[in-house]
Amino acid sequence: MTGTITRHWRSALVTLVIAAVVGGGLWYWFTPATSPPVDPAVAAELEARVTPLIEGAESEFLPAGQRSVCGVRVLGTEPAVTTAAEAATAYAWASCATLGSEIRSESVIPVRVLLSPAVQVDRAQPWDYSDGRITTMFPERLHDAFLNNGPPGGLEAGLAARIREVA
């Protein structure tokens, strides 16, 4: 009788261990990767660095006398960094407005800013969503932040502060 009870407990224990391993593996496999948030001080330094780059790219084709001004929130970097100087790429949301015209236009866009080896600003276009390019612009760990959740709060306040700063 004792041998039967021990055998049942051993079977139950083996079953529980297998279930835990399989459950953990499934959780790992199906849980989307997320990136840790960028340290607020590093994000602020990167925002100060990429804001004029984004504004320059947005202003490139505007008529003389007009310029683009942007409030920017950096949500991720490549590679993951502890200082702003380490970032090769910054991923951000930008809320931009065109100034110097009777008609003020505004847009909120996800942006990838390559900081090295050469500076390049890539803004997401509407067709990037339909042709799937948007998924290659941003690392998978940031897809929720850029594809599912929409712009972060505070962009409008950041834009208003930037307009006051440059005015």
Q: Domains of the chain: which residue ranges?
A: 1-31, 40-166
Give the model's pLDDT for residue 160. 94
pLDDT mean over 18-43 = 59
Please give the average per-residue pLDDT across 18-40, as a whole number. Answer: 54
Q: Which residue has the tokens 């948030």?
A: 37
**Cross-strand bridge partners of residue 77:** 90
Cβ(97)–Cβ(159) below 8 Å: yes
Q: Which of 103, 101, 100, 112 is nearest to 146 (CA)?
A: 112
The answer to whether residues 106 and 96 touch, using CB atoms and an 8 Å cutoff, is yes
d(CA 143, CA 149): 9
**For residue range 56-81, what is the model confidence (pLDDT) as tens digits?**
999 998 999 999 999 999 999 999 89
Give me the sign of the Cα torsion angle 85, 87, 88, 93: negative
Q: What is the DSSP code (8-state) at residue 138? A: S
pTM for the model stands at 0.74
Q: What average pLDDT does the segment 46-65 reach?
A: 94
Instruction: Tell whether the model's pLDDT for residue 5 goes beyond 70.
Output: no
Decide: 70 and 166 in contact? Cβ < 8 Å: no
Task: Note the pLDDT of residue 95.
Answer: 95
